[in-house]
Amino acid sequence: MSDLKYKRVLLKLSGESLMGEKGFGIDHNVLNFFATEVKKVYDIGIQLGIVIGGGNIYRGLSASAQGIDRVTGDQMGMLATMINSLALQNAIEHKGIYSRLMSAIHMEQIAEPYIRRRAIRHLEKGRVIIFGAGTGHPYFSTDTAASLRAVEIEADVIIKGTRVDGVFDSDPEQNPDAFKFDNISYLDVLKKNLRVMDLTAISLCRENNLPVVVFNMDVPDNLLKLVKGEAIGTVINDPKQ
């Protein structure tokens, strides 16, 4: 553990990342790849919590266009995160990883209720925790849920896995000349409207001096290199830190 930059990490994954080349649902190959990457950091003793979105199944924000009210749409989105969480838990346990799925919404038949002290105890015992159902409340994204859980479990960092190499001044998939930031402040993320995470999530991280690292999860070993301290992705923090 002495050569690791971080000891306790909150990994945020988007639901869309599970689709792979599909337009909907879960790609088994992507799920297996994520489980393999998680196993690498698990094996070196990292205490790991994971929050995964549900956008590959249902997105509450788009529900209003379908005539579904926002609260109901967000509740449907929370249930979608539980489907993804169960799939990810199954995949990592097939790799020999001890895990717990904790839900912000009570559904004891498939997940433990989220209790902060219990979550910390699971981490101390070497179990990977998957936090499902967002915050359990509408109007809050899974980015905000990730920030909240990271603060509650006293994580050293939030690591946000994406399909690009970090934070850019414009979409690198649309603009080949997009500039990548190696380090950027919370305020600059907000001022430049970079949409790395939503306003509530970034503000919560800023208030608690919790750094965020945005990196490309699709590159093998990137997660492992990052927790070991290699300069992977973009670090978002307070310049005075």
Single-letter amino acid, residue 200: T
Reported CATH class of domain 8-237: alpha beta
Q: 23 burial class (0-12, 13-18, 19+ CB within 10 angstroms)?
A: exposed
Give pTM, 2 decimals.
0.94
The answer to whether 179 and 165 are in contact (CB under 8 A) is no
Q: Write out the chain's pLDDT in tens, 241 residues.
A: 557 889 999 999 999 999 988 878 899 999 999 999 999 999 999 999 999 999 888 865 565 557 888 898 899 999 999 999 999 999 999 999 999 999 999 999 999 999 999 999 999 999 999 999 999 999 999 999 999 999 999 999 999 999 999 999 988 888 989 999 999 999 999 999 898 999 999 999 999 999 999 999 999 999 999 999 999 999 999 876 5
93: tokens are 């346990």
Spell out the domain ranges in the chain: 8-237
Q: What is the DSSP letter of 155?
A: -
Give per-residue pLDDT as tens, 41-84.
999 999 999 999 998 888 655 655 578 888 988 999 999 999 99
Give the residue carrying structure tokens 């492992």.
Answer: 224
Instruction: Determine the Cα–Cα distance for residues 157 and 11; give it in Å rounded to an integer.
Output: 9
- Closest to 212 (Cα-Cα) out of 189, 230, 179: 189
DSSP string, 24-72: SS--HHHHHHHHHHHHHHHTTT-EEEEEE--TTT--GGGGGGGT--HHH
Angle among Cα 43, 45, 47 to the nearest 5 degrees reads: 115
Instruction: Determine the Cα–Cα distance for residues 170 and 179; give it in Å rounded to an integer.
Output: 7
